[in-house]
Structure 1
Amino acid sequence: MASMAVQLLGFFLGLLGLVGTVVATVLPHWRSTAYVGSNIITATAYMKGLWMECVWHSTGIYQCQVYISLLALPQDLQAARALMVLSCITSVLASLVSVMGMKCTRFARHSVIKSPLVLSGGVCFICAGLLCLITVSWTTNDVILDFYDPFIPSGMKYEIGLAVYLGFASAFLSLSGGMVLCWSSSPDRSQRPPRMQRSLPLSAPPPFNPIYPPAPPYKPPEALRDNRAPSFCSASSSGYRLHDYV
């Protein structure tokens, strides 16, 4: 029961990580306008994401434009796209495998493949969390370097957006869920079959088998001392003296 609860906890953590990763991938709030220097006009805010650029006006109007050309995008943005999509696909695969391997499901019940399936799902969740963590860390590093670059004008500097923070949270949720699932996949010692013990005989064996007669009693060597055959070298043989023939 405890192992089943641990598996459910790990699965829901990984599922939350999957939802957060998908939302962070779709949202355009990866980079937001930095209001520094002469750029103090707050009536308009610019945001950049993996798939589109958006403009927010103080009147509450959003205007977004999807990136049309894929080859015209920077290489870091293309890599971020690929890593986040791969993270989402890996999380979906981890969810399916984990559902099949959990003890609360009927798939392959009482089978030895349950534990390897849960372990595979946990490993996939860990891989998905690492992919998402690498992407958001890379984006954070680029934003910080551009912000402190003196050669970039103030109007072209951006800050870290909300989608990046959501990506960090989703990555840690996926990593936590994967590690919990991997830990819960270890075999339970309390469910191992007991060791075979040698059964003791219920009653003592019979002293002898009544089919065969018992062995004759043992006689000591003293009883056979005078029971010897006469030899030719002895002084007498069969009652005759040796000097009777000389």
Structure 2
Amino acid sequence: MRANLEVLALVLGFIGLVGTIAVTAMPMWRVSAFIGANLIVMEELWEGLWMDCYRQANIRMQCKVYDSVLILPLELQAARGLMCVSIVLVVISLFFTGCGTKKSNCCDDNRKGKNITLALAGGFYLLSSLTTLIPVSWVGHTVISNFYNPTVLESQKRELGMALFIGWATSGILLITAVILLFSYSKRSSKEEESYTDAHLMAARDVQKEDIVYLGRTPSSFHKHQEYV
């Protein structure tokens, strides 16, 4: 059962890696909002972490990389760094998960080393879930706040893009993966403690039996005196 959970964690971790890379690369973090009296549905604007894309009627999508990071709002600047950190954390987590599984040859037969590796993988998955959730939620909060802010011009208002929804789903997958690995680690630790306790009790019983046998074979001084007489 635990081996199946570890395989499931590997699969979910790989899905989380694909999700974090897709969210980081997608330009659909903020999309144009079709509101107001002067509605122009034939134009569409996408804004991402690295570029913005513009499409007009009967014209292909044209994307342009940002000339400077400083022109981006604060939430998108922070999202760039956090999403890159999230990708690195997921890669490290996948490596540790592969080494911590029972069927892997990593750490040989060192159970304690594998348990520590599995716990580290769960911790890194938990951190990657947070580093994905924070920028996605921050950008989503800013988009919603500006959308309902009457002081913001209608042409500058945006809606939630597809990348944000994928980011929330990816963060949930990473969180589930972390819970699975930490659960497996707790089960392994409890099993090791039980085996250690059983071994300690068996050793204590063996010592007691040896003492009893030794005392039983030792003749008393009174018995020796009777034989002498």
Normalised to the residue count of structure 1, the TM-score between the two structures is 0.78
Aligned residue in 2 for 1:160: 160
Aligned residue in 2 for 1:237: none
Letter in 2 for 1:189: K
Aligned residue in 2 for 1:124: 124
Alpha carbons of structure 1 residues 215 and 97: separation in structure 2 relative to 1, 3 Å: same
Structure whose CA Rg is larger = 1
Aligned residue in 1 for 2:94: 95
3-state DSSP of counterpart to 2:44: strand
Aligned residue in 2 for 1:178: 178
Q: Which runs of 5+ in 1 are unaligned?
A: 219-246
Q: Which runs of 5+ in 2 are unaligned?
A: none
Distance 2:3 2:57 in 1: 51
Residue 56, structure 1, aligned to residue 58, structure 2: no
Question: Residues 75 and 135 of structure 2 are in contact (CA less than 8 Å); yes or no, is this contact kept in structure 1?
Answer: no
Measured after TM superposition, the shift of residue 82 of structure 1 is: 0.7
Alpha carbons of structure 1 residues 83 and 215: separation in structure 2 relative to 1, 3 Å: same
3-state DSSP of counterpart to 1:47: strand
Root mean square deviation, CA, Å: 2.6
Which of 180, 187, 195 is the matching residue for 1:192?
195
Question: Residues 32 and 160 of structure 1 are in contact (CA less than 8 Å); yes or no, is this contact kept in structure 2?
Answer: yes
Measured after TM superposition, the shift of residue 45 of structure 1 is: 0.6
3-state DSSP of counterpart to 1:113: helix
Alpha carbons of structure 1 residues 114 and 41: separation in structure 2 relative to 1, 3 Å: same
Distance 1:27 1:120 in 2: 29
Distance 2:144 2:95 in 1: 37
Distance 1:138 1:3 in 2: 36
3-state DSSP of counterpart to 1:192: helix
Structure 1 residue ranges, 4+ long, deviating more than 4 angstroms after superposition:
199-202, 205-209
Instruction: Give the % identical residues.
Output: 30
Measured after TM superposition, the shift of residue 37 of structure 1 is: 1.3
Letter in 2 for 1:182: L
Aligned residue in 1 for 2:142: 142
Aligned residues: 214
Distance 2:44 2:218 in 1: 103
Q: Which moved more, 1:51-60 or 1:110-119?
A: 51-60
Aligned residue in 1 for 2:108: 109
Alpha carbons of structure 1 residues 92 and 156: separation in structure 2 relative to 1, 3 Å: same
Whose helix proportion is higher, 1 or 2?
A: 2
Aligned residue in 2 for 1:222: none
